[in-house]
Chain A
Amino acid sequence: MASLGSFLLMATFVVSAYAIAASIAGARRGSRRLVDSGVGAFHLAAALMTVASAVIVHAFVTEDYTIKYVQRYSDRLQPMFYKLTSYWGGLDGSIMFWVFLLAVFGSLAVHVNRERHRELIPYVVSIISSVQLFFLLVMVVHTNPFETYLVQAPVDGQGLNPLLQNMYMVVHPPSLYIGFVGMTIPYAFGMAALITGHLDDAWLRAVRRWTMVSWLFLTLGLTLGMIWAYEELGWGGYWAWDPVENAGLLPWFTASAFLHSVIVQERRGMLKVWNVSLVVITFFLTIFGTFMTRSGVVQSVHAFGEDRTLTWMFTAFMAVVALFSAAWIIRRLPVLRPRYDIVSWVSREAAFVANNWVLLIAAMLVMFGTLFPTLSEALTGNRLTVGPPFFNRWMGPIGLVLLALTGVAPLLAWRRSTPANLVDQFVWPVGFAAAVTAAFVALGVRVWSSGLCFALCAFVVATIVQEFVRGARVRRAATGTDWLTATIGLVTRERRRYGGYIVHLGIVLMFLGFAGGGFKVDEQVLLKPGQEATVRHYTVRNDGVKVTDDGQKQMVTGHLFVSEDGRPLGTLRPARWFYRKHEEQPTTEVAIRRTFAEDLYVVMPAYELQDQSISLQIVINPLVNWIWAGFGILFLGTGIALLPDRAFGFAPVAARADAGAVSAQ
């Protein structure tokens, strides 16, 4: 099986090279046969990677420890579910999984666009295949996951890292990888448009949905990463500005910027150079993020370790990508001139430009903070780090500016807004935000950053509500239907705009969750059996420690009786798990009592079995669950924006004959 796997990787390498050659030759000679053959080879590469993936999964299932990768990342006692997901648990497998996802995603994108964007397809195929070729080269010459032991193989495996044996960690990497590899599709279409010179808005239409899907998966990956950190690492928070977390955040910023600026190009024919540059930057950052995680240039709990060969290979690839992309953008600059210029800075396009700049500044700051230790070591010989305080100091205000723009932009008109329009549009949202601010001041809220965030959240919510109400009113007038039908019609006929507003609502909920962090309580206590500790309105009593074993691991569990203002709430069980194969790396199992208002979060860092005493970290995290709920709303909104035009083709339009001029479309 190992030989078959290695053969499949090499076969995919050869087939990808053929796909590049046939597609480019076909496009240049105008030969449909060559182009179709190149596309066929592209699909063949995806098929070969699928078989290679099936082979490695088979090796994990059948416990084939002759393969080094299988032996390092699984063991006999590991549950079958985690054996399957061990595929992407290590460096070699994660690169292979990356190529597999890219091949499948690319194959799907080429298949969907094969007729509509026929002139771009040969170059799209060659660019995606080139990216595949690089990763296949890495595998073939350096990190082959099918490498076998030369002498007798061990009888059992070393087991997957205990931290990765968590449900969220099972879904987190695939969703993040899909988000990363998905950004290759817009890049390939953008470069194909530059190479062919077909720089009308066609390529934007081809990539908009793919970018949105990738952005959604990237957001899902980041959110799952936060939940995993919150529940598995046991430090009381969900985001520590870890370099690998930041690696996922960088392309998220630029992809978010692109999703907004693309609207400006479609509506006003502006930002053409900017959009194609954003696509290139986003793709570059996905490769850069992969490089950071796998090369060892940054130190992180998530990184795979230092690898100098990989560092050089990635550096060379990134240099090629940067030079190739920049050269084509510069060459096509004359045909990327904007159709219109910004007439007024009080316009929607100006707000989108501001949003783009803020997002880009955020990306640059995060990149600077992440790479600062590496840069300082290279320049001074000393590794200086900038921790969470640096990121929080800068990213807090930037986040608030972005939140404010989320509320402002929808209220502005394209081209320019007059003072009368501004008063009409802003009076209710600003009034509501002022009322909420006054209410919080009256309630005694004195954390200024959280208070400002609450006020801005109120402003954005009022903006969204106003947009729905006024839109529904216009649609009611046009169609003569009731409010509910008009609102549903509004959303279904203008899915992108109103789906976007729902996404904004999700973002608001997430910001509420972040703002809750300003009221966090964190205390450490040591409790002997029967002793109690009170933190705010919660009382925790130590009812003892128990030790159990399930064969794979030994579990030390603290039993805590919890009450709130004297009212019993039940038992919480924080624990420490010692895996047989990784006893030096015990995991922290957090006990959480969740409500929408706050989480009671209890960690047991230490214990004494003899006298049954336990050391506890008790954290109260206000509003934290609003972050996860916010993602749910964001998912819904993105889903609505992604629905195809024909999705609501069945819905009859009860338009009045005399009101045809105005509709939401």
Chain B
Amino acid sequence: MSRTSSEEHRKTGGRAVERKPAPLPVTPDEGGGLRPWHVLLVGTLVAAAAGVFAARGTSLANTLSVAAVIATVSLVAAGLFRTVAPFWSSGIEERPETAGGRRRAALEREKMLVLRSIKEIEFDRAMRKISEADFQEMAARLRSRAASLMRQLDGTGSGYRALVERDLATRVGQASTSASRTGDSL
């Protein structure tokens, strides 16, 4: 078992921890300024107020339902924005998910399941549900499988260190692009 995996296993107290797959690059949208949802919210409030004004003098139920209908229209605007925005946004990379990334996520999930299975049979043994011989055999096989999975995860090219460095490089690159763009707008 490699050092990284052993330390991680010790830190979690042997508990199976579901690790989220490596985050994908995000669109840089931090910082101030007017955002689409600001416009949407203000527009909705103005439209709903106008609707209520137009429906004045009618029953309360009618006024409320007019306001509700107008409010739901804002959802359409949001949905429309999400449908067309990807074609304008410069933050989306035109690249497919890498096979390595998928394999890594699958290995992580299997490792988590194997660790959970180990804890489960330990618990079953403590509750006297399985014989000692069966426990030893099953536990040995599961531990061997867990070790093999951890070795695969720590292998060259898909190790944590390489992945973290790749992510960091991507983010630093994006941050500098974002900063230069913000500087331009200012």
Indicate if the CB atoms of B109 and A205 lie closer than 8 Å. Answer: yes
Known: A32-B93, A40-B83, A40-B86. A51 touches B109 (CB 8 A): no
Q: Known contacts A37-B84, A54-B68, A474-B127: does B78 contact A47 (CB below 8 Å)?
A: yes
Whether A32 contacts B86 in the complex (CB less than 8 A), given A54-B69, A62-B65, A425-B129, comes out as: yes
Give the interface segment out of A283-291, A415-423, A625-633. A415-423
Chain B contacts of A33 at CB under 8 A? 86-87, 89, 92, 94
**Which DSSP category, helix, strand, loop or mixed, fits chain A's interface?**
helix
Q: CA A663 – CA B61 in complex, angstroms? A: 56
- Given A33-B87, A40-B86, A61-B61, CB of A51 within 8 Å of CB of B69: yes
Question: Across the interface, do A474 and B76 meet the contact criterion of CB distance under 8 Å?
Answer: no
Separation of A39 and B81 alpha carbons in the complex (Å): 11
Known contacts being A57-B65, A118-B97, is A655 close to B109, with CB within 8 Å?
no
Minimum CB–CB distance from A37 to chain B (whole Å) comes to: 5
How far in angstroms is the closest Cβ of chain B from A463?
12
Check if B128 sits within 8 Å of A44, measured CB to CB: no
Which listed residue, A51, A413, A663, touches B134 by the CB 8 Å rule?
A413
Mask of A49-92 contacts with B, CB within 8 angstroms, 1/0: 01101110110011000000000000000001000000000000
A40 touches B85 (CB 8 A): yes
Chain B CB within 8 A of A41 CB: yes
Tell me whether A471 is interfacial, beta carbon within 8 Å: yes
Most buried by B among A33, A53, A470: A33
B61 lies within 8 A of A80 (CB): yes
Report the bound CA distance from A646 to B123 in whole Å.
22
A470 to B127, CA, bound (A): 6
Q: Which A residues are CB-close (under 8 A) to B72? A: 47, 50-51, 53-54
CB atoms of B69 and A662 under 8 A apart: no
Which residues 606-665 of A sit at the B interface, judged by CB distance below 8 A? 645, 655, 660-665
- B94 and A474 within 8 A (CB): no
Inter-chain CA distance A416–B78, complex, in Å, is 55
- Decide if B94 touches A415 in the complex (CB within 8 Å): no
Q: Please indicate the chain A residues that have their CB under 8 angstroms from the CB of B105 in the complex.
A: 202
Most B CB atoms within 10 A — which of A30, A46, A62, A416?
A62
Asked if residues A37 and B109 are in contact (CB atoms below 8 Å), the reply is no
Contacting pair B109 A414 (CB below 8 A): no
Classify chain A: how many residues form its interface, as a range. 35 or more
- Is residue A169 within 8 Å, beta carbon to beta carbon, of the partner chain? no
Question: What are the residues of chain B within 8 A of A661 when measuring CB–CB?
Answer: 14, 122
| Partner of A414 from B73, B116, B124 at Cβ < 8 Å | B124
The residues in B between 56 and 105 inclusive whose CB is less than 8 angstroms from any CB of A are 61-62, 65-66, 68-69, 72-73, 75-76, 78-87, 89, 92-97, 102, 105
User: When A and B form their complex, what is the total count of cross-chain residue pairs whose Cβ atoms lie within 8 Å?
Assistant: 164
Majority SS at the chain B contact face: helix
Residue of A nearest to B129 (CB): A413
Within 8 A of A (CB), among B37-67: 61-62, 65-66
The answer to whether B61 and A660 have CB atoms under 8 Å apart is no
- In the assembly, what is the distance between CA of A484 and CA of B66, in Å? 53
By a CB distance below 8 angstroms, the chain A residues around B73 are: 51
Residue B147, interface by CB 8 Å: no
Contact B122–A662 (Cβ < 8 Å): yes
A424 at interface by CB-CB < 8 Å:
yes
B138 at the interface (CB under 8 A from A): yes
Residue numbers in B under 8 Å from A119 (CB-CB): 97, 102
What size tier do the contact residues of chain B reach?
Answer: 35 or more
B1-51 contacts to A (CB < 8 Å): 13-16, 18, 20-21, 23-24
The complex places the Cα of A317 from the Cα of B73 at a distance, in Å, of: 31
CB of A147 closer than 8 Å to a CB of B: no
A200 to B126, CA, bound (A): 30
Point out the residues of chain A lying under 8 angstroms from B84, CB to CB: 37, 40
- Distance in angstroms from B96 CB to nearest chain A CB is 3
CB-contact partner of A58 in B66, B97, B138, under 8 A: B66
Query: In the complex, what residues of B have CB within 8 A of residue A18's CB?
Result: 83
A115: CB under 8 A from chain B? yes
CB pair A663 B94 closer than 8 Å: no
Is B134 within 8 A of A37, CB to CB? Answer: no
- Tell me whether A474 and B102 are in contact (CB under 8 A): no
Contact with B along A3-38 (1 / 0, CB 8 A): 000000000000100100000000000111110110
Contacts of B116 in A (CB 8 A): 665
Give bound CA distance, A662 to B79, whole Å: 49
Contacts of A80 in B (CB 8 A): 61
Whether, in the assembled complex, B185 has its beta carbon less than 8 Å from a beta carbon of chain A, the answer is no
Shortest C-beta distance, B84 to chain A (Å), equals 7
Is A48 a contact of B86 with CB atoms below 8 Å?
no
Q: A40-B84, A417-B129 are in contact. Are A474 and B109 (CB under 8 A)?
A: no
Bound CA–CA A199/B37 (angstroms) = 38
Q: Which of A294-338 contact B (CB under 8 A)?
A: none
Contact A54 B21, CB 8 Å, known A202-B105, A474-B127: no
* Chain B: minimal CB distance from A274 (Å): 18
Q: Is B119 located at the chain interface by the 8 A CB criterion?
A: yes
Does A198 make an interface contact (CB < 8 A)? yes
Chain B neighbourhood of A541, CB < 8 A: none
| A201/B110 contact (C-beta < 8 A), A40-B86, A51-B72 known | yes
Considering the complex, give the chain B residue whose CB is closest to the CB of A8.
B76
Instruction: Give the distance in Å from the alpha carbon of A33 to the alpha carbon of B89 in the complex.
Output: 9
CA distance in complex: A645, B116 (Å): 14
CB-nearest residue of chain B to A410: B129
Q: Nearest A residue to B102 by beta-carbon distance?
A: A119
Please state if B65 and A40 are interface contacts (CB–CB under 8 Å): no
Given A30-B96, A115-B21, A665 contacting B82 (CB threshold 8 A):
no
A interface vs B, CB < 8 Å? 15, 18, 30-34, 36-37, 39-41, 43-48, 50-51, 53-55, 57-58, 61-62, 80, 115-116, 118-119, 198, 200-202, 205, 266-267, 411-418, 420-421, 424-425, 470-471, 474, 477, 645, 655, 660-665
New contact pairs (17) apart from A30-B94, A57-B65, CB-CB < 8 Å: A33-B89, A36-B92, A44-B76, A51-B76, A116-B21, A413-B134, A416-B134, A417-B129, A417-B130, A418-B134, A421-B130, A424-B128, A425-B128, A470-B127, A655-B13, A663-B13, A665-B16
Question: Which 3 A-B residue pairs are closest in the complex by CB-CB distance?
Answer: A30-B96, A44-B79, A40-B82
What are 13 A-B interface contacts by the 8 Å CB criterion? Answer: A32-B92, A33-B92, A40-B81, A43-B78, A44-B80, A47-B79, A61-B61, A116-B20, A202-B109, A267-B120, A414-B121, A414-B138, A474-B126
